[in-house]
Amino acid sequence: MRKILFSILFVAGCMIASAQQKFMLPNANPQVKDTEHEIEQYGGISILGVVNPSVEVYLPEASKANGCAVILCPGGGLRALSWTSDVIEMAKLLNENGYAAIGLKYHLNSGTMQMPKGMKMPPMVDVTGFANFKDADCNPAHFPQGDSILALAANDANAAMRLVREHAAEWKINKVGYLGFSAGGGVAFAATNIAKPEEMPDFICTNFGPALCPVKVPNPAPPLLIMSRVDHPNVAAGLVSLFMEWKKAGGNAESHLYGDGKGPYQLMPQNGTTTTEAWSQQFLLWLKAKDFCDSKK
């Protein structure tokens, strides 16, 4: 039965969106045994055991292309990548609206969902305690293995940014930024911390994804969009702290802290039962309002 369900999910994922191209990133090491594999999780496919990072490219129809690309950094606690919800389904929405989507498979901690050895549960901080997070670092449970994997993932994200810009003329892309889900948001901020000029994103959107290391706001800072549930322990406080750091540095930042719904937010039915269901449309509106895409498309 599990094999049948897996096959159904796989076929459904392919019907939703399929990548036109796949590229291995420079951090890939062919000498390392490939442990990447898929599991059924949360009604979709998650990817575990990534040691050879790569990207999958989803391009819109030429008649819809608006010149903007979004690098999708999926969530999963640095132990998995929620691929169906954070990449395949999101790529379909982006393509329908003229955006190129780049799914990033970054380095992960292990090949299982078990908490890595040495990792401790952080204290729970509500949104009013945002000042507890120095430099917007929402990761009070640092441990060597976790910090090492975050650094590798950050390098993967920067490599993906370089790749997109190298193919900008071919893919007709003028602007490119990040949309990070949960831990993927932390990867995006870690990447921005160490980004060279050619790796700096044009924008960052984080969906339930606070920084997982001390933040160094770039100068100039790329526009930032934050989305989260206000009562999510640590995450909401970390994102408020991040917003404050961005504003103190003179950056353009916008924050949506929703009072209802569960998170991280995946694409939701538009039935008017929660305010959170509109997050994806607000993200698209933000991209358009900030002139990251050709407004005529």
**pLDDT tens sequence across 4-32:** 444 434 444 444 566 789 999 987 776 67
Q: Is the pLDDT of residue 94 over 70?
A: yes
Buried b (16+ CB within 10 A) or exposed e, 66-99: bbbbbbbbbbbbbbbbbbbbbbbbbbbbbbebbb
AA identity, residue 210: P
User: How many structural domains is the chain composed of?
Assistant: 1
Give a yes or no: residue 41 inside a domain: yes
Q: Is the pLDDT of residue 50 over 60?
A: yes
Give a yes or no: residue 174 inside a domain: yes
54 or 263, which is more confident? 54
Give a yes or no: residue 169 inside a domain: yes
Segment 121-133, tens digit of pLDDT = 667 888 998 998 8
CATH number for the domain harbouring residue 220? 3.40.50.1820
Write out the residue range of the structural domain in which residue 253 sits. Answer: 34-112+119-289
Nearby residues of 166 by Cβ (< 8 Å), 6 or more positions away: none
Segment 105-155, tens digit of pLDDT = 999 987 555 555 555 566 788 899 899 888 999 886 777 788 999 999 999
Task: Tell me what the pLDDT averaged over the chain comes to.
Answer: 87
Give a yes or no: residue 1 inside a domain: no
Residue 188: which of 214, 173, 206, 174 has the closest Cα? 206
Q: Is the pLDDT of residue 297 over 60?
A: no
AA identity, residue 200: M
Give a yes or no: residue 296 inside a domain: no
Mean pLDDT in residue range 182-208: 97
Give a yes or no: residue 9 inside a domain: no
Give a yes or no: residue 230 inside a domain: yes
Give a yes or no: residue 128 inside a domain: yes
User: What is the rounded distance in angstroms from the CA atom of residue 104 to the CA atom of residue 164?
Assistant: 11
User: What is the rounded distance in angstroms from the CA atom of residue 120 to the CA atom of residue 117?
Assistant: 9
pTM: 0.89
How many CA atoms are closer than 13 Å to the CA of 119, on its beta-carbon side?
A: 17
Q: Is the pLDDT of residue 270 over 90?
A: no
% of the chain beyond a pLDDT of 90: 64
Segment 216-228, tens digit of pLDDT = 999 999 999 999 9
pLDDT tier at 104, thresholds 50, 70, 90: very high
At residue 13, the pLDDT reads: 43
Whether the CB-CB separation of 254 and 225 falls below 8 Å is answered with yes
